[in-house]
Amino acid sequence: MGLLNRFSQWQNDRYQKRVAEMQSKGLCPDCRGSGLSMLALNEFLHTNFYDCPGCNGSGLYSDWEETNQY
């Protein structure tokens, strides 16, 4: 189980690094500041774009932080 724990820790560290980087830039970590989230049902079909649920489409870190408070 040590390998699975290391992989989980690596994923968490990577996510925390991305959040810290986006915070310094003032951008939403989920959509990277674009305000859009895409849903690709199939790589050959049309891709649908939706407002990012993390920042409600604004692309700002402050809005993402308000939405993701625990």
Domain ranges of the chain: 2-67
Render each residue's pLDDT in the chain as its tens digit; 70 residues: 688 899 999 999 999 999 999 999 999 988 888 888 876 666 666 667 788 888 888 889 988 888 887 6
Q: What is the pLDDT of residue 50?
A: 81
Q: What is the pLDDT of residue 16?
A: 93
Please say whether the beta carbons of 40 and 47 come within 8 A: yes
The backbone torsions φ and ψ at residue 33, rounded to the nearest 5 degrees and listed phi first, read: 90, 0
Please say whether the beta carbons of 24 and 50 come within 8 A: no
Please say whether the beta carbons of 56 and 67 come within 8 A: yes
